[in-house]
């Protein structure tokens, strides 16, 4: 209902602010302010009743009255904000004493004028509220509110991705694999050599992407290269081909998204890359036949047995894409299973006496569509069984059998939306400002919510903490889908196409946003637009340009993939709060010189933009209300005058004197600069003044003299949660290892480029109970140190470097003390291995073997067939999914070890192995045997984890290498030298 009430929630605090002595309002004006505040409280109380009713069930008079309130509240807030800006001043101090004195005298007169104008404005607001209250009584609106259904409070257990992959996917996945002809035993069969194409077709929400992803994960290891890309309705072919290249080879094409080369170059690059490779590509969510024809040109027919899968809602696209696979809705059993799993948890402990007739009625309306079933399950989660019939009746489905599944699902999604608390509805609708299939970053999204005034303050919690709670709530209700960062953190979200369609419809109907794109023109009255979004507008639109000029009340302007071709495009939005420019290009002559005039601005984001001349002007120091700045271009020194900044994310500045003035900062992220950043000592010293800092991240070059200052500054940051100091920021150890240095208890993320000689005392499991991500280098470690790390209760990601060989013995799977939550474990120059030395006691040993230091192998050699034991204790690292380690084949050979036996059977959740395999000093035949043994170990595991290990230092024939050593009289001649100096044909 916050969409309808507009700015009512933020008006009351601002009115109370006016009553402070610093604003010096006359008594009569103060009384009017108090009256307005009380009246707004009464209106809010009424809207709390209205908010419990779905919008389509409200009386039309109530809707009209609500819309009037919304527009009035926005106008009131604009008036109050303008007054507060005028009174607080918007310009920085002038260095000239005379000018400074004249400026001060001018401010005295302007403030007096502002106080007179606010008195008139408050009188106007009072009259407007009088009229609104009179209409409410005249039409008896309190009696016209429909009866509210039971309040829904879903308690969700798993995300859409997790649940949907467990239920109803296996059969479809296996059918598709069969269609791809990959199960034939004869690898030379003609059908296996052609480039086979299959298209999955079905309605939105049916699970096409989920099934395609399941097939992709199952098969990609069988191909030379693979890519999974999403296209979407608003197709950008250049981005699609860049995504394909990046996915095919992330190392070779790591910078492909930065290139300015055109479509023809990208298509040619894809074709050349795939020319002699057996590839597997999934193109997800194709909408139009013509667009697919342009994409498929890149998939060369090379007679290597390549495979291509597309997913689409269009039968025409499916027929044009290849062999058609019609994805069917879930069976009744799978639907019931998914529904109950969503309600009662992944362990599926269903209630035996559940009312089956009600369940069947619910699932009949879902028509086997997973998204609909999960949405319904979310609504019924946590409800007593006697409430189910009442809840079902309150949904208000259309019972006409002619209505298709899409309409039913949209009805379900709409009801899920109305089930949200008012503040969450607004936050969800705000996602309609993003393009389709967009990966929405979590932190910038939350700061935009804050800038818009969507987050209601609560005692004892910061606005960002509340925003995170809102974000997690939307995830738990299956309305947005989680996007994880490379280390397992929730970095953002995506929004399902069906949900996006729904919220765009709602946002448009209630004038929440106006969307302009190459295919869509806003039809709202220009004078009433409050949030303007532009997407994919590369050319000038003269008709809409005049319309934009009339949008004088715009408070939020977001533009994605557009051309900025008007030099004063942003100046016309005088009360702008949010300005977000992403992936745009500035034409010559277009700049940001007028940015300092947007005195109401709270959020400024400029990312991944191109063009000459655009830069942040020094007048940004005028923006006293600015809270968040997230830009890719260097900031002027005047930014340090903006003392209300809470998030500063920008490249390094030449001068950082004044960073200590930003005492409200909660996040300070200095982006990476090529070659690093020669960090000033003054910057390190002033960090200690930023007592509110939660996130600190920068990428400095090595500098020995600032370690002591940095440690002292960190000791002052009691609220710090994220410390990420990457690259070469010196390894000056004594200060870090000094007694008494304690990391804050709130710490969640720690990356320190420090090479500790021993385990630092500040790594303490009893105090670091929230530490999620740890990157640590300890020269000398022992078993006690390893087991200490294993007791960190929240640790999910561990990058551990050491020069020691360490063994943790007597680990019992059920004791809960050995890396219970760890999902990602990475090492360097270390081989890891699990073994069960004694089958009788059931314990396991975990070894980290540093073979580069020529340490003896700490584990007992055993053969791969020894894995077939009658009892295997599982769950030593019960949640470990990604394991990265090094393998030296020569070290294993010299120690009589077995290449394929490293205890994979003790890791029940493992899904990926990665890392380098050093082939120096062994023959090519031994390399083949080792790879076969390692691959076989993965195949024997129930999860069939992907094997992404790669060979380094190519092997040579040992007999030839020994002869060369004799000929050159160099008995220690390294194999690497031989392979570099003598090509295979010469050998």
Q: Is 66 exposed, middle or buried (0-12, 13-18, 19+ CB in 10 A)?
A: buried
Containing H/E element for 948?
strand 946-952
Contact 879, 821 (CB under 8 A): yes
Contact 757, 780 (CB under 8 A): yes
Q: What is the pLDDT of residue 965?
A: 62
CATH topology agreement for domains 176-183+191-326 and 423-505: no
Contact 643, 627 (CB under 8 A): no
pLDDT profile of the chain (987 residues), mean per 10: 62 72 70 80 76 70 80 82 70 43 42 67 81 80 58 30 59 88 56 82 82 89 91 83 92 87 91 93 90 91 91 87 89 85 63 64 78 76 74 52 53 73 88 90 96 88 93 83 86 85 84 73 66 78 58 88 74 87 82 86 92 81 94 92 94 85 94 76 89 90 68 87 73 55 86 84 90 94 94 95 92 76 93 80 85 78 48 72 91 78 86 89 85 88 86 68 63 56 48
What dotted CATH number matches 423-505? 1.10.10.10
Distance CA 831, CA 438 (A): 39
Q: What is the pLDDT of residue 975?
A: 54
Give residue for tokens 């639907």: 335
Q: Which residues contact 697 (CB under 8 A, 6 or more apart)?
A: 668, 669, 670, 722, 723, 724, 725, 726
Q: What is the pLDDT of residue 55?
A: 65
Q: Which residues contact 794 (CB under 8 A, 6 or more apart)?
A: 748, 769, 770, 771, 772, 821
DSSP state for residue 969 in the 8-state scheme: T
Q: What is the pLDDT of residue 310?
A: 95
Q: What is the pLDDT of residue 407?
A: 62
Q: What is the pLDDT of residue 259?
A: 86
Of the candidates 906, 679, 221, 188, the residue with the CA atom closest to the CA atom of residue 696: 679
Length of the chain in residues, anyone? 987
Residue 245, CB half-sphere, CA atoms under 13 Å: how many?
A: 25
Q: What is the pLDDT of residue 403?
A: 40
Q: What is the pLDDT of residue 733?
A: 54
Instruction: Give the C-alpha distances (Å, rounded to integers) separating 362 from 52, 383, 923.
Output: 22, 14, 64
What dotted CATH number matches 176-183+191-326? 3.40.50.300
Q: What is the pLDDT of residue 91?
A: 45
Distance CA 299, CA 302 (A): 9
Contact 415, 213 (CB under 8 A): no
Q: What is the pLDDT of residue 669?
A: 94
Contact 581, 606 (CB under 8 A): yes
Say what the pTM is. Answer: 0.79
Neighbours of 984 (CB within 10 A): 9
Three-state SS string over 441-459 comes to: EHHHHHHHHHHHCCCCCEC
Q: Which residues contact 297 (CB under 8 A, 6 or more apart)?
A: 267
Distance CA 406, CA 401 (A): 13
Contact 167, 337 (CB under 8 A): yes
Q: Where are the domains of the chain?
A: 7-92+99-143, 176-183+191-326, 332-395, 423-505, 533-539+548-638, 651-771, 777-861+873-977
Phi, psi of 644 (to 5 degrees): -95, 5
Distance CA 742, CA 755 (A): 17
List pLDDT tens digits, range 16-55. Answer: 777 666 666 777 777 887 888 888 777 777 777 776 666 6
Distance CA 690, CA 401 (A): 63
List pLDDT tens digits, range 923-957. Answer: 888 888 888 888 888 888 888 898 888 888 767 55
Distance CA 742, CA 747 (A): 11
């Amino acid at each position: 209902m916050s969409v309808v009430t507009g700015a009512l929630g933020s008006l009351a605090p601002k009115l109370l602010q006016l009553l402070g002595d610093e604003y010096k309002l006359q008594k009569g004006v103060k009384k009017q302010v108090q009256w307005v505040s009380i009246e707004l409280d009464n209106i809010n109380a009424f809207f709390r009743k209205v908010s419990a009713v779905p919008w389509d069930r409200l009386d039309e008079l109530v809707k009209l009255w609500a819309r009037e309130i919304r527009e009035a509240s926005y106008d009131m807030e604009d008036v109050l904000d303008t007054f507060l800006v005028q009174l607080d001043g918007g310009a920085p101090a002038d260095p000239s004493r005379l000018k400074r004195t004249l400026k001060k005298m001018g401010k005295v007169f302007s403030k007096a004028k502002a106080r007179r104008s606010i008195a008139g404005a408050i009188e106007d607001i009072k009259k407007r509220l009088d009229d609104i209250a009179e209409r409410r009584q005249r039409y008896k609106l309190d009696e016209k509110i429909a009866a509210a259904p039971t309040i829904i409070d879903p308690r969700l257990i798993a995300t859409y991705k997790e649940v949907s992959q467990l239920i109803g996917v296996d059969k479809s996945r296996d059918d598709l694999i069969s269609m791809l002809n990959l199960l034939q035993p004869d690898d030379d069969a003609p059908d296996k050599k052609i480039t086979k194409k299959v298209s999955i077709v079905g309605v939105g929400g049916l699970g096409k992407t989920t099934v395609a992803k399941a097939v992709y994960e199952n098969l990609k290891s069988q191909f030379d290269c693979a890519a999974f890309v999403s296209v979407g309705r608003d197709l950008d072919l250049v981005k699609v081909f860049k995504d394909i290249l990046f996915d095919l080879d992330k190392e070779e094409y790591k910078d492909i998204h930065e290139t300015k080369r055109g479509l023809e170059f990208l298509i040619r690059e894809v074709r050349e890359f795939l020319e002699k490779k057996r590839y597997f590509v999934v193109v997800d969510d194709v909408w139009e036949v013509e667009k697919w024809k342009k994409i498929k040109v890149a998939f060369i027919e090379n007679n290597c047995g390549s495979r291509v899968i597309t997913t689409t809602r269009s039968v025409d696209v499916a027929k044009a894409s290849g062999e058609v696979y019609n994805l069917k809705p879930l069976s009744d059993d799978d639907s019931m299973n998914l529904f109950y799993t969503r309600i009662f948890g992944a362990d599926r402990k269903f209630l035996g006496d559940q009312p089956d007739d009600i369940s069947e009625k619910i699932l009949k309306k879902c028509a086997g569509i997973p998204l609909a079933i999960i949405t319904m399950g979310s609504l019924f989660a946590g409800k007593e069984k006697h409430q189910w019939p009442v809840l079902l009746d309150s949904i208000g489905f259309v019972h006409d059998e002619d209505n298709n599944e899409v309409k039913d699902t949209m009805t379900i999604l709409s009801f899920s939306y109305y089930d949200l608390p008012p503040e969450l509805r607004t936050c969800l609708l705000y996602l309609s400002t993003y393009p389709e299939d967009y990966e929405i970053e979590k932190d910038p999204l939350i700061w935009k919510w804050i800038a818009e005034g969507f987050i209601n303050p609560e005692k004892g919690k910061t606005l960002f903490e509340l925003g995170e709670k809102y974000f997690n709530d939307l995830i738990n209700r299956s309305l947005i889908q989680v996007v994880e960062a490379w280390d397992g953190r929730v970095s953002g979200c995506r929004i399902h196409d069906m949900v996006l369609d729904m919220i765009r419809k709602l946002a448009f109907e209630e004038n929440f946003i106006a969307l302009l794109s190459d295919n869509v023109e806003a039809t709202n009255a220009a004078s009433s637009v409050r949030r303007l979004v532009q997407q994919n507008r590369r050319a000038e639109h003269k008709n809409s340009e005049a319309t934009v000029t009339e949008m004088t009340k715009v408070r939020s302007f977001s533009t994605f993939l557009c051309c900025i071709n008007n030099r004063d495009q942003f100046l016309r939005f005088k009360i702008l709060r949010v300005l977000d420019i992403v992936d745009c290009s500035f034409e010559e002559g277009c700049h940001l010189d007028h940015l300092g005039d947007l005195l109401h601005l709270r959020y400024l984001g400029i990312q991944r933009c191109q063009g000459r001349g655009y830069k942040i002007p020094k007048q940004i120091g005028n923006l006293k209300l600015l809270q968040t700045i997230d830009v890719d271009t260097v900031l002027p020194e005047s930014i340090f005058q903006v003392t209300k900044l809470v998030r500063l994310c920008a490249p390094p500045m030449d001068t950082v004197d004044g960073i200590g003035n930003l005492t409200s900062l909660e996040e300070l992220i200095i982006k990476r600069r090529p070659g690093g950043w020669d960090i000033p000592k003054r910057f390190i010293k002033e960090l200690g003044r930023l007592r509110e800092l939660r996130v600190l991240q920068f990428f400095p070059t090595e500098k020995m003299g600032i370690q002591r200052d940095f440690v002292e500054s960190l000791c002052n940051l009691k609220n710090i949660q994220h410390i990420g100091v990457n690259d070469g920021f010196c390894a000056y150890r004594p200060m870090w290892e000094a007694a008494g240095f304690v990391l804050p208890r709130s710490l969640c993320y720690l990356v320190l480029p420090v090479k500790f000689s021993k385990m630092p005392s500040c790594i303490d499991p009893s105090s670091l109970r929230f530490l999620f991500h740890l990157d640590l280098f300890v020269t000398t470690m022992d078993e006690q140190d390893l087991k200490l790390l294993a007791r960190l209760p929240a640790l999910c990601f561990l990058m551990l470097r050491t020069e020691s060989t360490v063994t943790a013995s007597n680990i019992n799977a059920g004791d809960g003390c050995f890396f219970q939550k760890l999902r990602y474990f990475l090492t360097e120059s270390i081989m890891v291995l699990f073994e069960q030395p004694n089958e009788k006691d059931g314990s396991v040993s975990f070894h980290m073997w540093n073979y580069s230091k020529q340490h003896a192998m700490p584990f007992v050699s055993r053969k791969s067939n020894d894995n077939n034991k009658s009892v295997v204790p599982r769950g030593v690292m019960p949640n470990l999914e990604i394991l990265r380690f090094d393998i030296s084949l020569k070290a294993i050979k010299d120690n009589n070890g077995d290449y394929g036996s490293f205890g994979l059977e003790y890791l029940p959740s493992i899904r990926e192995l990665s890392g380098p395999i050093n082939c120096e000093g062994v023959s090519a035949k031994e390399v083949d045997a080792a790879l076969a043994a390692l691959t076989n170990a993965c195949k024997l595991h129930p999860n069939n984890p992907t094997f992404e290990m790669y060979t380094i230092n190519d092997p040579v024939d040992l007999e030839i290498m020994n002869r060369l050593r004799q000929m050159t009289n160099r008995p220690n001649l390294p194999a690497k030298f031989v392979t570099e100096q003598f090509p295979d044909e010469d050998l």
